[in-house]
């Protein structure tokens, strides 16, 4: 099985997907005239819109839910893996992915808003919905829904849970060794698993409102706290900062681990971390209550910046400044190109980050990383559940099948338990397969949508026109813009016009 997963991972994450991710980001950046830069101020102001409703959540809550998916082990263990296998230059390519990916995030999240539906008292949307409603390709919607359920319901939760288990073990030790069908497991890890499962069940059985209420408090708290710790490390070593940035930029093109390794690991971990183009962000974006679809697209573009330019960069600087990392060459020999720490240290783990903070704060450093990783990973699991649930709901309607959402909850909980007690390498490869498969389907799909209908560009121009006209209440009329299939917004616009006509009588 391990050999098959490795083979499948190599096929899915071929150079073609790497270039596709970068190409799609560049494509939408040019078409939107780099909206991720032009509308940066607007992105920030939109975060504080409080237009939640009985059916939808606020823009900030949607940002928190999407960030809970974007901010996870990829920001701590994933960055360490990128440096450990791709060298410092991988960090530069993560930045490139974030900058270009912000435009991709705008496009996919605007589509999520455009083609969302009101179902059983809440908003639902995502790639499966816009593939069917915009392209008319239900088969592609079903394929994406199946892929996302497998990825977010089976593969990805194990990665988050596995990293939490490893972090807790590194802080508190193995504890009493307990024999299980997965091998010997420390009692410390089992206690951590029990806590995760109990809290996870309480939240996911409360639906999107409870998830949003939880994440809007935890996500900002954990992100700000993590960045503050990184800034302390930076300021204590401020004299090293110019050299570190110089190494990142020079290594991006004359990489210690090889030019291809720097790009490959930087792009892979960048996409895995910020999820731009992967198709996960549109699910939370669709749940938001906004006046105009483009607004949530811009908010989700900002979330990519928070994830990669802020949090991933914080991790990278801590590791590189303190020199708590190794760089391993490509297989088959796998010799260390740079060896600063114990060669037995697992690269694809939080170890580099924990050792970096330990070198500055002593034993409290790894404890902080463990706590941060716990919340990063836990909130990501919540986001994965919501994505899986949304796509199960889509399949129930599209295929007229009756699948209980309780099954999705139990599946997530089982995979969390499985991932916690399993080995890191195998779990990481499974996650890469899931991320890559979703990215292939979503990026190809949103590019096809552009060439066939251009709804995201029409929505952006309409929003910019209304903003330039100084309107205080935005409206959106998809029919007037030639956008078909946006039934939710058609009904909303007709209702708004009817209310205005009634008021003028």
For residue 183, pLDDT beyond 60: no
For 426, counting Cβ atoms within 10 Å of its Cβ (0-12 exposed, 13-18 middle, 19+ buried), the class is middle
- In the chain, how many domains are there? 1
- Domain membership of residue 182 (yes or no) is yes
- Strands 336-339 and 326-328, how do they pair? antiparallel
CA-closest candidate to residue 208, choices 263, 149, 138, 285: 285
Q: What is the pLDDT of residue 428?
A: 59
| Model confidence band, residue 45 (pLDDT cutoffs 50, 70, 90) | confident
- Domain membership of residue 233 (yes or no) is yes
Q: Which of 23-27, 290-294, 319-323, 352-356 has the lowest mean pLDDT?
A: 352-356
CA-closest candidate to residue 71, choices 80, 60, 61, 63: 63
For the stretch 470-491, pLDDT in tens is 888 889 999 999 998 889 999 8
Percentage of the chain lying above the pLDDT 90 cut: 14
- Domain membership of residue 65 (yes or no) is yes
User: Is-contact 35 457, C-beta < 8 A?
Assistant: no
| Model confidence band, residue 50 (pLDDT cutoffs 50, 70, 90) | low
- Domain membership of residue 502 (yes or no) is no
CB atoms within 10 A of CB 342: 9
For residue 255, pLDDT beyond 80: no
In whole angstroms, give the CA distance from residue 377 to residue 263: 25
- Domain membership of residue 353 (yes or no) is yes
For 344, counting Cβ atoms within 10 Å of its Cβ (0-12 exposed, 13-18 middle, 19+ buried), the class is exposed
| Model confidence band, residue 328 (pLDDT cutoffs 50, 70, 90) | confident
- Domain membership of residue 415 (yes or no) is yes
Q: What is the pLDDT of residue 494?
A: 86
| Model confidence band, residue 38 (pLDDT cutoffs 50, 70, 90) | very high
CA-closest candidate to residue 108, choices 24, 211, 15, 12: 24
For residue 459, pLDDT beyond 90: yes
| Model confidence band, residue 463 (pLDDT cutoffs 50, 70, 90) | very high
- Written as one string, the DSSP assignment of 192-240 is HHHHHHHHHHHHHTTHHHHHHHHHHHHHHHHHHHHHHHHHHHHHHTGGG
Q: What is the pLDDT of residue 348?
A: 66
| Model confidence band, residue 279 (pLDDT cutoffs 50, 70, 90) | confident
For the stretch 113-162, pLDDT in tens is 999 998 877 889 999 999 999 988 999 999 999 888 888 888 788 777 77
For the stretch 345-358, pLDDT in tens is 777 667 788 888 88
Q: Which one is predicted more confidently, 354 or 265?
A: 354
| CA end-to-end distance (rounded Å), the chain | 71
- Domain membership of residue 490 (yes or no) is no
Q: Which one is predicted more confidently, 298 or 364?
A: 298
User: Is-contact 291 496, C-beta < 8 A?
Assistant: no
For residue 364, pLDDT beyond 90: no
Give the mean pLDDT of 1-14: 76
User: Is-contact 60 126, C-beta < 8 A?
Assistant: no
Q: Which CATH number belongs to the domain containing residue 84 in this structure?
A: 1.20.1740
| Model confidence band, residue 110 (pLDDT cutoffs 50, 70, 90) | very high
Residue 39: which domain range? 1-474
Q: What is the pLDDT of residue 391?
A: 92
- Written as one string, the DSSP assignment of 110-165 is HHHHHT-EEETTEEE-SHHHHIIIII--HHHHHHHHHHHHHIIIIIHHHHHHHHHH
For residue 461, pLDDT beyond 90: yes
Q: What is the pLDDT of residue 113?
A: 92
Q: Which one is predicted more confidently, 74 or 223?
A: 223
- Domain membership of residue 302 (yes or no) is yes
């Amino acid at each position: 099985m391990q050999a098959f997963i490795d083979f499948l991972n190599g096929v899915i994450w071929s150079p073609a997907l790497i270039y596709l991710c970068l190409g799609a980001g560049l494509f939408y950046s040019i078409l939107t005239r780099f909206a991720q830069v032009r509308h940066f101020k607007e992105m920030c102001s939109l975060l504080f819109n409080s237009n939640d409703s009985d059916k939808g959540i606020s823009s900030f809550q949607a940002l928190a839910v999407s960030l809970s998916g974007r901010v996870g082990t990829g920001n701590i263990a994933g960055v360490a893996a990128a440096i450990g296998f791709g060298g410092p230059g991988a960090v530069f390519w993560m930045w490139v992915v974030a900058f270009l990916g912000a435009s991709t995030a705008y496009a996919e999240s605007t589509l999520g808003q455009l083609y969302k539906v009101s179902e059983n008292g809440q908003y639902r949307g995502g790639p499966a919905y816009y593939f069917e409603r915009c392209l008319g390709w239900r088969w592609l919607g079903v394929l994406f829904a199946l892929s996302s359920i497998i990825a977010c319901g089976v593969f990805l939760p194990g990665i988050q849970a596995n990293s939490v288990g490893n972090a807790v073990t590194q802080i508190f030790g193995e504890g009493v060794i307990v024999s299980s069908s997965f091998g010997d497991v420390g009692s410390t890890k089992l206690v951590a698993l029990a806590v995760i499962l109990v809290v996870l069940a309480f939240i996911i059985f409360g639906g999107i409102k409870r998830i949003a209420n939880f994440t809007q408090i935890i996500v900002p708290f954990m992100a700000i706290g993590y960045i503050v710790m990184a800034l302390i490390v930076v300021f204590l070593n401020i004299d090293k900062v110019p050299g570190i940035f110089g190494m990142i930029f020079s290594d991006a093109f004359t990489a210690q681990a090889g030019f291809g390794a720097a790009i490959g690991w930087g792009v892979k971990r960048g996409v895995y971390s910020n999820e731009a183009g992967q198709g996960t962000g549109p699910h939370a974006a669709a749940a938001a209550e906004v006046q105009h679809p483009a607004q949530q697209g811009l908010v989700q573009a900002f979330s990519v910046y928070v994830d990669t330019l802020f949090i991933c960069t914080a991790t990278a600087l801590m590791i590189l400044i303190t020199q708590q990392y190794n760089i391993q060459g490509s297989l088959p020999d796998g010799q260390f190109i740079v060896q600063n720490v114990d060669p037995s240290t697992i690269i694809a783990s939080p170890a580099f980050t924990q050792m970096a903070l330990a070198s500055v704060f002593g034993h409290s450093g790894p404890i902080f990383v463990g706590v941060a990783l716990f919340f990063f990973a836990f909130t990501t699991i919540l986001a994965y559940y919501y994505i899986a649930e949304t796509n199960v709901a889509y399949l129930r309607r599209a295929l007229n099948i009756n699948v209980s959402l309780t099954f999705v909850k139990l599946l997530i909980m089982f995979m969390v338990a499985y991932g916690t007690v399993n080995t890191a390498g195998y779990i990481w490869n499974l996650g890469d397969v899931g991320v890559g498969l979703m990215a292939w389907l979503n990026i190809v799909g949103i590019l096809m949508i552009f060439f066939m209908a251009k709804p995201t560009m029409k929505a952006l121009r309409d929003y910019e026109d209304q903003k330039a006209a100084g309107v205080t209440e935005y409206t959106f009329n998809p029919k007037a813009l030639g956008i078909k299939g946006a039934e939710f917004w058609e009904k909303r616009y007709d209702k708004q016009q009817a209310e205005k006509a009634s008021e003028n009588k």
